[in-house]
Amino acid sequence: MIQVAVLGYGTVGSGVVEVIEKNKAEINKKSGEELNVKYILDLRDFPGDPYEDKVVHDVNMILDDPEVKIICETMGGLKPAYDFTKKALSLGKSVCTSNKELVAAHGPELIRVAHENKCNYLFEASVGGGIPIIRPLNYSLTAEKIDAITGILNGTTNYILTKMDREGADFEAVLKEAQEKGYAERNPEADVEGYDACRKIAILSSLMCCKNVKYEEIYTEGITKITATDFVYARAMGRTIKLLAQSKEVDGKLFAMVAPFMISRDNPLYMVNDVFNAVCVHGNMLGDSMYYGKGAGKLPTASAVVSDVVDCARHIGKVIMCFWDDEDVKVSDVSEARRAFFVRVDVAKEKEAIDTFKSVRVIEADVEGEFAFVTDVMSEKEFNEKADAVGIISRIRMEA
Amino acid sequence: MIQVAVLGYGTVGSGVVEVIEKNKAEINKKSGEELNVKYILDLRDFPGDPYEDKVVHDVNMILDDPEVKIICETMGGLKPAYDFTKKALSLGKSVCTSNKELVAAHGPELIRVAHENKCNYLFEASVGGGIPIIRPLNYSLTAEKIDAITGILNGTTNYILTKMDREGADFEAVLKEAQEKGYAERNPEADVEGYDACRKIAILSSLMCCKNVKYEEIYTEGITKITATDFVYARAMGRTIKLLAQSKEVDGKLFAMVAPFMISRDNPLYMVNDVFNAVCVHGNMLGDSMYYGKGAGKLPTASAVVSDVVDCARHIGKVIMCFWDDEDVKVSDVSEARRAFFVRVDVAKEKEAIDTFKSVRVIEADVEGEFAFVTDVMSEKEFNEKADAVGIISRIRMEA
């Protein structure tokens, strides 16, 4: 029997306990041994909870118990999760986490500590909730040179954008509704400003490069400025607007960003709606492959944590391969990235815009008082200079 | 250095050699050791080929060489692939294959022989070409009780159906064009009659059940009877027609079939077009997840074979978990499966059809002389009795 501890009995933590109990037969079979949750760490007590007798308040009870081989860190945040994780790993206890913040901030160090102590730090649940994406990158696409990863990595913003598209509603109204339904936090900043997606693409980019991509270096733009009018244009172009998290190697340079993009119907991410997430991976042999599913939620996320527990259980005392070195990758300045832009200007500026941007594709839509167009492919720097010269209403980046 | 042999220097086999050469750096890093293709088995010679000196005609040169640890079987067919594979495995040489026919026919036996000899029989490339699906099922979704798998598993038929949908063309015309373009074989039976998809869903079903699902027991219906008129109705319903390979556990019974289905826009498989494949997996915790990409082609398929080679290289002398027992699963009679049906009858039979099927949803479309409707959910048996009584033009099964 393998003893497991769960740190944090919130949504994901209680999901982990539930999944291990409900799918006991399948999980024990795949683990090759029986798993048992011995401790649940939380500051609170849970009187009446079926697992109340497992709840402890002192992490040292877990760290000091040599029987505990695997720890699920579902606390979130950097403190005290970082200290608990590092101590556990240095004691040879594997840690499985859903904590994207911690993985993005200290991934390579914690992986190194794990490997030095013949145990593992796994984080399938940190990106894409229940969607298998870390393991496909590490174990499946091993014959590929991966040169681009593009994902819809945040369920809240995708829910909001889907609603805006379907109902012609404005951002604020949909956000309010999403908050009422519990799809968005009371303080929605981490989601709507793209910070959550930024952590996740930093993790995926690091695995793509086998080196460290610092999330602080990833240009991040949220969806708060997207309006119902933008969707009128999107529809007129047969497109929709999605918050994409993207990482691309172009001529040996790494470009990474989070921003709203106009994407076409041919893009496999076009059909990823509501709270669903998806990750599109481009490899030099396979081309595009996509991984789609529930990117958040108690049981999907818990399922991913438990799949890591199973992997750890099968590798007690052995290191599971993961290439994510400490060495930092230089993320290229976003101003060098090249693409086309969708632009809206006041109708009075039509001539000036055409003179400045030269070759433009005019977009006809049922909007009064505006002139809208798509530019040629150019660098962000060049675009910004021209846009500043003309004075535009707004712009959204174009993607295939 | 780990020595590898390739059996069969056709499309996939030559792709394997190409992938190992082109992505050497990535592959050797992930393998933890350098891989080298030592032999290529083929009946033919390849004068001028950069690897012509590796070509041998006698399999025993490979089997008798103790240096060869991993064999890629890319010959296809049952004979002599079965004998070669079994001998190799019994000598402790791992085998990685793209041969769905062999895996579907002898999978559990070959896996057992491999494990008895501390080596592995891996078959990622046998389903979905380059799409990682076998590994996600075996290694990622380990915390799930999987109860349904539905896939678009054949690129040729999906190309044909996509064309028929977009162009309003008839089956025969599109097939002819697909043959001219090389997307369909001169003898297209294995694809268009669904036999290829049947082998693949048998493999996936077996992994879902951890037991053996015999492909011979899977009801299989191809796309040869689908017409341009069917697509007129599909569009009128906001649907399209896809050849689905499906395996479902309902109340402890396993239902498996390959057949054309009318699917809705909300189905994630709706957007899987052209030669792309996708597999939708339903688990009790995660819900739906989908794996999408190129289901065929030289390099994508070869990439999947080589990912198996990497896995074998990392597990020399060790067994990689795979649950697929010899024990056969009883596949339930398709006549017991319950669903709604789309039905076309001669307009003269409108009243009779309504009297027989009772509650029907009439489908209005621009088709002369016909009456078309969707039935309530009923068993295939009940449907067939009613359809025989009325005398129908055709029927297509409905799927969410």
Whether B338 contacts chain A with CB within 8 A: no
Judging contacts by C-beta atoms under 8 Å, the chain B residues touching residue A294 are: 286-289
B-interface mutation test, from A16, A23, A139, most B Cβ less than 10 A away = A139
Residue B271 contacts A, CB cutoff 8 Å: yes
Which whole-number Å values give the CA distances from A224 to A172, A191, A208, A256, in the listed order? 8, 10, 29, 20
Check B143 against A26: CB less than 8 A apart.
yes
* A19 Cβ under 8 Å from any chain B Cβ: yes
Which of B124, B303, B305 is closest, CB to CB, to A283? B303
Residue from the list B270, B283, B307 with its beta carbon closest to the beta carbon of A141: B307
Give the per-residue pLDDT at A189: 96
Q: Is the CB of B145 less than 8 angstroms away from the CB of A23?
A: yes
Q: What is the DSSP string of A224-286?
A: TT--HHHHHHHHHTTEEEEEEEEEEEETTEEEEEEEEEEEETTSGGGG--TTEEEEEEEETTT
* Contact with chain B for residue A195, Cβ under 8 A: no
Give the contacts of A83 (CB within 8 A, at least 6 positions apart). none
Residue A30: pLDDT band with limits 50, 70, 90:
very high
Return all residues near A14 (Cβ < 8 A) that are at least 6 apart: A298
> Is B135 within 8 Å of A135 when comparing Cβ atoms?
yes
pLDDT recorded at residue A140: 97
Say if the Cβ atoms of A144 and B290 lie within 8 Å.
Answer: no
pLDDT above 90 for A182: no
Taking CB atoms and an 8 Å cut-off, how many pairs form between chains A and B? Answer: 174
Q: Is A102 helix (H, G, I), strand (E, B) or coil?
A: helix
A56 forms beta bridges with A41
Question: How do A94-97 and A68-73 pair as beta strands?
Answer: parallel
Segment A298-306 shows an average pLDDT of 97
Task: Please tell me the predicted confidence (pLDDT) of residue B183.
Answer: 86
User: Within an 8 Å CB–CB cutoff, is residue B23 touching chain A?
Assistant: yes
Cβ pair B285:A293 closer than 8 A: no
Interchain CB distance below 8 Å, B130 and A285: yes
- On whether the CB atoms of residues A127 and A277 are closer than 8 A, the answer is no
Spot the catalytic one: B93, B100, B200, B211: B200
Instruction: State which fold the B335-398 domain adopts.
Output: Alpha-Beta Plaits (3.30.70)
* Least CB–CB distance from B268: residue in A135, A271, A285: A271
Q: What percent of chain A has pLDDT over 70?
A: 100
Distances in whole angstroms, Cα of residue A339 to Cα of each of A230, A256, A374, A376: 18, 13, 10, 8
Q: Which residues of B touch A291 (CB under 8 A)?
A: 289-292
Average pLDDT, chain A: 97
Residues in B closer than 8 angstroms to A145, CB to CB, are 23, 26
SS (H, E, C) A315-341: CCCCCCCCCCCCCECCECCHHHCEECE
Residues 6+ apart with CB under 8 A from B127: B100, B133, B134, B151, B153, B200, B203, B204, B279
A96 within 8 A of A308, measured Cβ to Cβ? yes
Q: Domain A135-294: which CATH class?
A: alpha beta
Q: What is the pLDDT of residue A183?
A: 86
ipTM score above 0.85: yes
For residues A199 and A193, give the distance between their C-alpha atoms in angstroms, rounded to a whole number. 12
Give the 3-state secondary structure of A7-41: ECCCHHHHHHHHHHHHCHHHHHHHHCCCEEEEEEE
Q: Tell me the pLDDT tens digit for each residue of A116-129.
A: 999 999 999 999 99
| Alpha-carbon distances of B234 from B237, B259, B271, rounded to whole Å | 5, 16, 14
Nearest CA in chain A to B293: A289
CB contact under 8 A, A130 and B300: no
Measured in angstroms, the CA of A81 and the nearest CA of chain B are apart by 24
In Å, the largest CA–CA distance within chain B is 75
List CB contacts (< 8 A) between B323 and chain A.
29-30
Cα(A370)–Cα(B333) distance, integer angstroms:
62
Which tokens go with A253?
């340079």
When scoring A19, A74, A137, A142 by the number of chain B Cβ atoms within 10 A, the one with the most, hence best to mutate, is A142
What is the rounded distance in angstroms from the CA atom of residue B5 to the CA atom of residue B85? 12
Q: Which residues of chain B make contact with A207, given a CB cutoff of 8 A?
A: none
CATH number assigned to the domain with residue range B2-129+298-314, chosen from the 4 options 3.40.50.720, 2.60.40.650, 3.40.50.300, 3.30.420.40: 3.40.50.720
Show the low-confidence residues of chain B (pLDDT under 50): none
Query: Is some CB atom of chain A closer than 8 A to the CB atom of B24?
Result: no
CA distance A99 to A77: 7
In 10 A of CB A399, how many CB atoms? 19
Considering only residues 116 to 175 of chain A, which have any Cβ-Cβ distance to chain B shorter than 8 Å?
124, 130-132, 135-136, 139-145
Q: Which chain A residue's Cα is nearest to B18?
A: A285
Residue ranges of B 316-335 with Cβ closer than 8 A to chain A: 321, 323
Residue of B nearest to A124 (CA): B140
Task: Let me know if domain A334-398 sits in CATH 3.30.70.1150.
Answer: yes
What residues of A are labeled active site? 200
- Minimal Cβ distance to B140: which of A132, A210, A294: A132
Q: Any idea where the domains of chain A sit in the sequence?
A: 2-129+298-314, 135-294, 334-398
B254 secondary structure, DSSP code = E
Under an 8 A CB cutoff, do B294 and A293 touch?
Answer: no
Q: Which residues in chain B have their CB less than 8 angstroms from residue A147's CB?
A: none
Task: Identify the residue among A17, A26, A140 best suited for mutation to test binding to B, counting B beta carbons within 10 A and taking the highest.
Answer: A140
